[in-house]
Amino acid sequence: MTGLDFLAWDEIVDFLLVKHYFWHRGFDGMYGTVARWVKQIHRWNPALNERDCFTVVKAWLGVNLPGVHSLGDMDRGFPQAFFDQVVKEETQRALDAVSDADKIVPWMDTGRMPHGGDPMTAGDLYRILTASKEAGLQRFLFHNHAHLTSAEWCVISEMCGSRWDENPEGYWPPNTPKPTTY
């Protein structure tokens, strides 16, 4: 959806930092982008109902969001089918478009600052990483301008080898207070 020409870039770069940004609201996230297009299409065509606007967006962008038929559906979170279908398909598209799958290193984020999106849960992060791995992804870059939460750190550390042990005397993500502080 960002208009990246994988084939052209594949010839001149060693790796591509594609976006695996899926949050709602804010900017750059897939859910939020679809919602903005639905609203814009309705402003241009007030006679269309919300479902019709979703149909137009699907035709334009080629994105089908499972279980989403209204803007209200988007506020209820991400169904498992979103990860199983959309995240996996978007990852596979990127991997298929380059000569070497190791060139794809998605930026992953969960929507907080500076994007202004609705924060996604650590469980959603896990489902993004799991679906991406199932599609063949080997590496990623967690790109967050804030500090990791302890839940995000647990998910990432476990998926990358050794789960963080949450020892208050050791490393502790700055965005989460140590247990000894409460």
Q: What is the mean pLDDT of the chain?
A: 90
At 94-107, the pLDDT tens digits run 999 898 999 999 99
- Identify the CA nearest to 132 among candidates 120, 124, 144: 124
Q: How confident is the model at residue 55 (pLDDT cuts 50, 70, 90)?
A: very high
Is pLDDT of 135 > 80?
A: yes
At 65-103, the pLDDT tens digits run 999 999 999 999 999 999 999 999 999 999 998 989 999
Residues in contact with 131: Cβ distance below 8 Å, sequence separation at least 6, in sequence order: 83, 84, 87, 88, 91
At 141-162, the pLDDT tens digits run 988 777 788 889 999 999 999 9
In the prediction, which pLDDT does 77 show? 92
pTM of the model: 0.90
d(CA 142, CA 110): 9
In the prediction, which pLDDT does 18 show? 87
Q: Residues 77, 113, 91, CA angle at the centre, nearest 5°?
A: 55
